Chains A and B, each alone.
Chain A
Amino acid sequence: MARALSSKELRQKAREVQWEAFQRGLYRFRSNALSMIGLSSLIILILIAFAAPYIAPYPEDARGKTHVTERLKPPSQEHLFGTDKIGRDIFSRVIMGTGLALKVGIVIIFLASIIGVTMGGVAAYAGGWVDDLLMRITDIFLTVPGLVLAIAITAALGKGITNVMIGISLVWWPGFARLTRSLVLSLKEEAFVEAADGIGSSHARILFRHILPNALSPIIVKMSTDFGFAVLTAAALGFIGLGAQPPTPEWGAMINDGRERFPTEWWIATFPGLAIFVMVFSWNLLGDGLRDVLDPRSRR
């Protein structure tokens, strides 16, 4: 006859199980070569972002310094990626833009997931008319593809990188809301919710401390797989001309800048595009690996 475990032992046991699951996940993630490549390349990008002012050969070119004599130079030893129409070193500008691209992605994903998780969580937990109301609002945002609505909202708010981040976040949250709602709907029937309710926990505490932490893995997977697309969307708005204004070294805007001189001076648009690709591809590899670990159904 097994002895009932004390609450301290129970907590200890739970921690052991969690640690084991984490180790197993880590093993599966590490044994996936592609996601390790993604992760390493992301770490390098983050390092580049922080070290940018020290490794960029001409950091002042990202702040709008021009060199008329160095206009439109093709890639060479001095200018690895060549120079643009006002003589700025593209290599330096690409490096200096890394941090911005990362920041834009992080801000969008965090804003969108905070709005979405709250909306979806509250809708599912409260149920009834609250659920109806919040989900109809979500539906309205989902009737139009995100990029189109993001263009409309950003145009209204005015050009600029901050407004791009706000505009994209405002169209990105419905996906998180839908996902969270479906997770919370099934979790709120679990016994631990009843138990928490029984000992008198407040609704907010039950939702945010008990239910949502259990819904975290799919949300994290979505955050990581969405990250790359958020960066792409922001670059698209920059390319259209709604994003960062000169001289900000935003990659999308730099491609737009090189478009009129493409393909004769091909390097102006090509290298920022490759930079976007490297960042998005790294995230996608990482996200794909995380999905395998945290959502075992997706890959067998």
Chain B
Amino acid sequence: MKLGSYFLRRLLLLIPLLLGLSLLTFTVSRILPGDPVGLAAGPQATEEIKASLRKEFGLDKPLPVQYFSYIGNLFRGEWGQSLYSRREVASDLKVYFPATLELTLAAIVFAAVLGTLLGVVSALNRNKLPDHLARVVVLFFVSFPAFWLAMMFQLLFGLALDWFPIGKRFNILMSPPQSITGMYLLDSLLTWDWKSFRMAAWHLFIPALVLSFGALASITRITRANMLEALDKDFVRMERALGMPERVVIFKYVLRNAFIATLTIIALEFGWLMAGAVLVETIFDWPGLGLYIVESSLRLDFQPIMGITIIYGIVFSLVNIFTDMAYGLLDPRIRYG
């Protein structure tokens, strides 16, 4: 039961953080020198039109009043309206968020598997050729701008080789799987729709792969360092002396010890990848939070930007909480105080 109360306490601590975040984005959105109302109203708009727009969106009230009504609405699930499209931010987020989450989850799985493997290989061949090679390869891929790499992969795998689609989440001529979570892979699994599953996976593969490169270097480095540390421990010598197969020693005991630190990095990288998705989505026309925030920021449309930032904040914080909880499951020595 201790885990439950730990979780609850962390959730409660999240509230002041998110309030702080909302205050930050609110302040940022109100100090802007640009003129979002003028931009939304168009170049021909008269002062009266602008004034009525301001009134409609409550922008004529004093700032503290605006902030508190914004916060009140947030808790009621009303995240404001886009100045530009007039659509509800909350309903837009409901559509875009699962797309980004699916892309990021797929990417972090790629990065975790590849990075851990490379880290293990590096550690087992310390300072030999495979180690050096792995080091260069991960540094190589992490050094490309994600959006540029996305364009190159689109060209290579989408256009030249024609192995994968060049964008979007699904074939535009087909209807996507019945929406339960909004994540196509999961939805098609839940409804046993294998055709949709294959289609969604086929669209997801390249964007997720490109996105995963950003997290490879740190996952590999941490896994390597902690593998080396764990390999030095007495229990390893003991297990080897007992004649356990090397495979069991490495994967069951050493890796499990090293993996705890890797997990922290994976959680941290998850947030970075979710942000990196902004760029990858732009290239692959992936209808997620990234496309949404880019469009909104170019139009100075602040209601969506604030909503997206808060969604990012919530997910990022939850991931951190879950990671801390996962430690306990992997390492029985850790107890929650």
Contact = CB atoms under 8 A, between A and B. Distances in A.
Contacts of A252: 145
B18 interface: yes
A169 to B, nearest CB: 14
Contacts of A179: none
Interface string A12-31: 00000000000000000000
Interface stretch (A1-9, A55-63, A64-72, A145-153): A145-153
A241 B279 CA distance: 12
A152 B297 contact: yes
Given A148-B312, A284-B139, A140 B21 contact: yes
B32 A147 contact: no
A124 interface: no
B17 A143 contact: yes
A236 B271 CA distance: 17
Interface stretch (A182-190, A199-207, A208-216, A255-263): A255-263
B308 A148 contact: yes
A152 B159 CA distance: 34
Contact of A228 (B32, B126, B143): B143
Q: State the majority secondary structure of interface residues on A.
A: helix
A220 interface: no
B32 A240 contact: no
B293 interface: yes
Nearest to A143: B313
Given A145-B316, A148-B278, A156-B29, A140 B143 contact: no
A140 B278 contact: no
A247 interface: no
Contacts of B274: 145
Contacts of A106: none
A288 B316 CA distance: 27
A273 B25 CA distance: 31
A276 to B, nearest CB: 5
A149 B139 contact: no
A158 B32 CA distance: 7
- Interface size class of chain B, counting residues whose CB lies under 8 Å from the partner chain: 35 or more
B148 A255 contact: yes
A136 B144 contact: no
B228 A276 contact: no
Contacts, number: 150
Contacts of B143: 228, 232, 277, 280-281, 284
A281 B145 contact: no
B174 interface: no
A157 interface: yes
Given A156-B29, A285-B139, A151 B148 contact: no
Contacts of B109: none
Contact of A239 (B33, B145, B308): B145
Contacts of B282: 239-240
B28 A156 contact: yes
Interface in A271-291: 273, 276-277, 280-281, 284-285, 288
Interface in B280-308: 282-283, 293-294, 296-298, 300, 302, 305-306, 308
A270 B151 CA distance: 9
B225 interface: yes
A236 B145 contact: yes
Interface in A220-251: 228, 232, 235-236, 239-242
A140 B151 contact: no
B329 interface: no
B276 interface: yes
B256 interface: no
Given A145-B272, A239-B279, A288-B139, A155 B297 contact: yes
7 contacts: A34-B136, A143-B17, A144-B312, A152-B293, A154-B297, A235-B145, A273-B151
Given A143-B317, A240-B298, A273-B151, 13 more contacts: A34-B136, A143-B20, A145-B272, A145-B312, A146-B275, A152-B293, A152-B305, A152-B306, A157-B33, A232-B145, A236-B279, A242-B297, A277-B143
